[in-house]
């Protein structure tokens, strides 16, 4: 499994229900909060992440690339992936499944997706779920796993990584985007 990590953080440890509650109260303004916390730079980081990942391949040897965006409730990363694949590679077979523990965040993502050409297509789906327990997804199901500004809110990082490894296909890509410094030497690449 290859990985791309742009500043990962492994220090947050609040119970899942508390994390879920916090995000329920800020779901409608979550992206604005990220703008304030990063002075808007998070948008550049997200663009850079997608550029490095280069989802959707120009060669059609891998049609139907399957992606999963975990802790991706607002759909921000998922829609960027879909747009990049379509505009750079004319790829309309790539799909992204968005997973978030918080139903209010997922509702924000659905609202955003409804405004796009991807709504009501098999290219995007939204699922309530915990990154630590991805039982609704099969082994070796995905080519790309993204988690942006979310792993810090997980209470059991090793469980998240085990699940990511399990659901990624051999040779799949794990991409983590965070605000903080990398604390784990093995991931500091």
Tell the burial category of 159 from Cβ atoms under 10 Å away from its Cβ (0-12, 13-18, 19+).
middle
Q: Which domain holds residue 10?
A: 2-187
Predicted confidence band of residue 27 (pLDDT cuts 50, 70, 90): very low
Mean pLDDT of the chain: 81
HEC string for 108-173: HHHHHHHCCCCCCCCCEEEEECECCECCCCCCCCEEEEEEECCHHHCCCHHHHHHHHHHHEEEEEE
Predicted confidence band of residue 25 (pLDDT cuts 50, 70, 90): very low
Give the residue-averaged pLDDT of 19-30: 50
Torsion of CA 45, 31, 152, 81, to 10 degrees: -50
The model's pLDDT over 170-186, given as tens digits with 9 standing for 90+, comes to 999 999 998 766 666 66
pLDDT of residue 11: 32
**Cα gap 32→140, rounded to integer Å:** 35
The model's pLDDT over 136-165, given as tens digits with 9 standing for 90+, comes to 999 999 999 999 989 988 999 999 999 999
Residue 29 is classified by DSSP as G
Give the residue-averaged pLDDT of 88-102: 93
Whether pLDDT at 77 is above 60: yes
* Top-confidence residue, 161 or 59: 161
> What CATH number should be reported for the domain holding residue 29?
3.40.50.150
41-53 vs 76-89: helix axis angle to the nearest 10? 50
- What is the number of domains present in the chain? 1
Give the residue-averaged pLDDT of 67-94: 94
pLDDT of residue 64: 86
pLDDT of residue 45: 82
* Top-confidence residue, 25 or 132: 132
């Amino acid at each position: 499994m290859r990985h791309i990590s742009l500043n990962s953080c492994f220090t947050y440890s609040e119970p899942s229900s508390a994390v879920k509650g916090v995000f329920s109260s800020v779901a409608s303004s979550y992206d604005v909060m990220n703008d304030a916390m990063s002075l808007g730079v998070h948008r550049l980081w997200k663009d850079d992440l997608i550029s490095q990942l280069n989802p959707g391949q120009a060669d059609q040897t891998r049609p139907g690339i399957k992606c999963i965006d975990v802790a991706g409730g607002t759909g921000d990363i998922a829609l960027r992936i879909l747009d990049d694949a379509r505009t750079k590679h004319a790829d309309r077979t790539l799909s992204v499944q968005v997973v978030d523990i918080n139903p209010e965040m997922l509702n924000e993502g659905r609202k955003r997706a409804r405004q796009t050409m991807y709504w009501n297509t098999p290219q995007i789906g939204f699922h309530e779920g915990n990154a630590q327990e991805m039982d609704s997804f099969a082994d070796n199901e995905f080519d790309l796993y993204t988690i942006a500004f979310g792993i810090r809110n997980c209470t059991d990082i090793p469980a998240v990584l085990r699940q990511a490894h399990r659901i990624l296909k051999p040779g799949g890509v794990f991409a983590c985007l965070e605000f903080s410094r990398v604390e784990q030497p093995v991931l500091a690449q």
